[in-house]
Every structure is written in C-alpha cells, then in structure tokens.
Structure 1
Amino acid sequence: MSILNKKEYAKFLLAHYPEYPQGKYVNLIVIRKTESEAIFRTEGSGEPLCREFVHAGVQKRDNDPIQRVVITKRKQTAVERRTGREDLRKQNLPCLDADGVVLFDSVDAYVYGYAVGQGGAQRSRVITEDAFSILPVNQVVDIRTSNALFETGTMRDSRDEGAEASSSLFTSEYVRPETHFLDIETLKDITPDELFYILGNILRTSRYGAISTRIGKVKNTIAQVVFSDTEIFSTLELTQYVYDALPRTDPDPDPDFPLQDNVLLEAVKNSSATLIEPIIGQYEVMGQEDLTALIEEVRTIYRDPSEFLQRLSNSYRGS
C-alpha cells in the first residue's frame, strides 16, 4: 500500500483531475546543492548572475540587506518539465505536436499547464518561486578569467612565433560547487500519481542553468513534504530563518562555506516547524520515516515507469 493512502495525507489529495479548484496543496521543500560550477542568469551569454538584495535573516532586520544568488522560477520548472517530457516520449506518450506546441490532452499539459493563443489554456498546478542561495554572494560566487584560443590551441592564429598574440580575454561569474539553495514547489489539487510524477521530475533532473552540457550539476533533495489546505510560508522566509539558525564561527557574521548537509537539513526542519505554526488552516507535515518511504516509492516506480505513466495518461480521459 502506498504511503499516500494514509488518511492524514489522503485527505489533501484528489482521486482524479478536478474540473474546479479544490484548495488542496502539497508543498515540497527542496534543497538544491550545486555539485559543479553553475551559472544562473536570465538570458544571453555575458549576462551577470541573477541576484537580489534581501535581508539576511529575521533576527537583525536593521542590518543592511545582503545579495543572494537567485535561480528564477522558470529556470527550475522548465528543466524539470523537460525531464518529464523525455520520460513520456520513451513510452510513446506525445506531449508536443509537430510544431512544438503543447498537446492540451497530455500529462505534461494537465500538470504544468499551457497557453495556445485562441486554442484555450490550462493553469499550471505546479506553483513555483525563485530559489535563493542561503549564503550571500560574496561567499558563493567567484570569477574566472578565460582566453579565446585559436584552432592552433594557442593565443596565436599561426605557428609563426612572430604572429601577434590574441588579446581576447573575458571574465565570467559562476556559483561555486557545494552552494545550497532553498526552494518550495507548491502543488495544487493533484492526485497521488501526479505527485509521484512531479517528484520523479525533480529528483531525476540534475542539470540547471547556462552551459549545462559542461557545468550546472545540481543535486535535489526533498527536505520536507507539507500537506495543507492553503499555501504555506515563502521560500524567502524559510531561507532567512535557516540562515539565522545555522552555526557561526565567532566573530564571523555569516555561516561557514560550504554548509554541512546534515546541519542544513536539521535547520530547515526546525525553521519549517516555527514558520508553519501561524498558518491559518489545516496542515500535515510528513514525518521522516514516511518521507523516506515516499522517496523509495518514487525510486521503485521509475525503475520501470511504463505502466505508471500509461496509467497517469489514461486518468485524464473524459476530463
């Protein structure tokens, strides 16, 4: 029996795709850890990293804001959505037409939404926020200077030692390996199979940002799952509480880089417990034993996902 059949979780999930909003939420608290250099920016080469000035924590708001690196909403879900589409194609379940337009009756469209001019629209049921680095820019960002080599593999376009050397030097910012980001993905009015599908997309996606064929390796960890009948706290709130909760080396005002995974996970759980108390509504935090069982269910499903994905696709017929 699935762990999601427990009554404390099942009451926040739906049996089938809903015609109208039901106000049931599953909030996934995700820790994203870079395992290589990474570049998170908006568009185009040469652009600086995405960053925002925000308060460091909640205990000393009179202090000057700090800059945090940001992974924008679209840069997260777009990659995870493509992971899901790849899995659907493997099972001959189309999600795009010949022109690259989302098929309105596909699993991808029902979960992540679509908008096709006059052909209708479907709101995404995966609600996302920007992910923030826990530590400030000065700790997690570095700059690399590179040069543009000719085909000879040198700075000269000729083997002639008298040839003029190229002066093409360029610098680029990057996020250092072992940088941690926090993110909350809020899933609205979903079925158990849709939850497994979204979890699979998150846990199976491992490359984010620019130049992802060479850098951008990221490990995603589901830190907590919170079921509720309303949206919970924001990603930024959680990031600020976690920042305050992390240990320091006096007199350094910031936690040491890199953060320890187990220390961070404990800080996330404690901060989440504090933040959720003022929530007006019903909620259920999945315990660690049940969360481990849930992730194991996802792992089992994706060892042979053909039956699962076909069942999920069939569930929308007649919707």
Structure 2
Amino acid sequence: MKAAIFDGTAALKLQDIPIQEPGHDEVLIRIDSATICGTDQHILEGKFWAKPPVVLGHEFSGYVERVGSSVRICQPGDLVSVEPHVYCGCCKPCRLGKPHLCLDRLAWGINLNGGFEQYATVRMDTVYRVPEGISAEEAALGEITGCCMHGIDRVDVGLGDTVVILGGGAAGLILARLAELRGAAKIIISEPNAGRRDQIRTFGYDQVVDPLGEDLSAFVNGATGGLGADVVIEAAGRPDTAEQAIELVCHGGRVLFFGVAAPGKRASIEPNRVFAREITIVGSIRNPYTHHRVMEILPRLRLRSIVTHRFALEDIGEAFATAHRGDGLKICIKPNG
C-alpha cells in the first residue's frame, strides 16, 4: 500500500509499505478520509515531537476490511472512526482516571502509523462505529470534536452565556457548535482570515470580528453592556490571543486555553486582574472518554461543510501547503481516491 512517511524532515515521503494484518484484538481499516491537524503541521515544522519513521495523521475514518478473532464491536464493511490514543493504564494519571494525561501514551499518527496511508491496523478499543447518515469525512472529525467537547466540559459553558472564541478555524467552529448546544446565548468569533470569516457566516454565526481591522474589546463590551464575556476560548494557539482572553472575560468568568501554542512560547498575564475578577483559567488537552459521546451527537453538529479541500495521497505536499496558507477550514486526504 501507499503511505506518506514522516522521516524527521519537513516533507512527507510517499512510499510502498506492507499492509499489517490484524492481530486477534485489532481491526484493519481501509482509510477513506484523514484530515490534517495543526499538530501535523507543527511536527513537520519541528515544533512538536513524533517518532520517525512513522505515518502521520491522527484524525481518520474508514471502512473495516478485516477483523481479528476477538473483535465483536464491528465487522467488515462498517464505517468506523478512530480515537487514536493508547494509554498505559499504570501511571499515576491513568490510575486517577485521567488517561489523557498518561505519562507513557502512544498514538496513531505520532509514534504508531496513522491515517495518511491506504490501510491502518488499530486496536479494537479505539474503533467506534459511525451512526447512519454520517459521512466518512464527518467521521474523520471525531478526534478533534472529542477534544473540543472536553474543552467545553472543562470551561463549563452554560445556559445564557456569552462565549467569545479567538480563532475561527475548524476547531473554533466545532467549539461554537458545542457551545451553542450547551445553551450559549451569544457566540462571538474573532478570526483575521477574511475567507474563513465568510465561511463562518455560512454556518449561521453573524457576530464575526476581524481583530486586525476592528476593536475586538469594544465589540465584546458593546455586546455585553460593558461587562465582558462569560467564557473566552483561546483557539488560535498564540501568546497574544492568550493575553487577550484575560482582558475580554467578565468578573467571575472562565477562560479556556484550547489552542496549541508551541512549547516555549510565553504570554504575559496580570495576576491582579485574575485575582480581582476571580477569573478561572483552565487548559484542555486531548479527548478523554468523549469519542462515544461524539458519535452520538455528530448528527446534530452539522459539520459536513467544515471539510473544504480534498487531496489524493499523492498530492499530500500540496495539501499541507494549503493548510499552511490557512485556505479553507479542514483539509482532507483521500488515500484510496
């Protein structure tokens, strides 16, 4: 089969590699859709770690080709989504019920071969059948949607909240959808990319701000009677927007650091502001125990239009260049055509 290999350099290499036959507790999947995550881009840029040689791509779905003798949760022909993390079960976070913080975690697309290949063999406990009526491309968004769901849980969006989201990419839109379902009364999205702002409006969000051309603080104050937002979600992964989040939140409000800033980047925060306003700041990483819930709620999220570009596996370099330019929302690789 064809696979795009990360060898430690800045460009993926297309190679022929053997198909791995499934063990007794494994599932062989013919990949339909694998979407590019910002983490994939950071790996190629040398900002995040992966174990070369490895096939990248941790957001993927496909059709079951073969199953091991112990597998009962799916059968050949089923459309499935993959939750790509494997936890040790023995470290302190795992034993405290927080496996997403596992100290010895493995992941398909990081140190195990992931979705940028024609077939993937994964453990059955990471495989989830997809509801009827959901496309393979939507199913590939299961991992990022699970991460967003964990973030929304962490920051506790509630009925009547005004939510500001800094960063209107695919994650920002999914966060907006989930906040809406949790009862948010107002959702304001800040996004400097003009093309993305236009696309965000097609999803029904009309309070979309260009932070480079408008005063975002004045806009939020105008929308909240000068009080500030109940919840601010930093989804851009930038130190400046992390600082901005603290300035936009109301007294007693909550801030979520969701965007992935490169390690070593720092933001300046005024401790007295956090103290005086009793601001709660939380972080969110990965997707503990959310993938099942994601499969249940996917039909209500209306995510089909988030995938805006599709590329063959042979054109994965062009796909990453498109993602790097910020064109569209989600870029999808179609390894089998």
| TM-score bin, normalised by smaller chain | under 0.3
Larger Rg: 1
Bigger RCO (CA 8 Å, 6+ sep): 1
Q: Give TM-score, length-normalised by structure 2.
A: 0.22
Q: Give TM-score, length-normalised by structure 1.
A: 0.23
Please state which structure has a larger fraction of its residues in strand.
Answer: 2
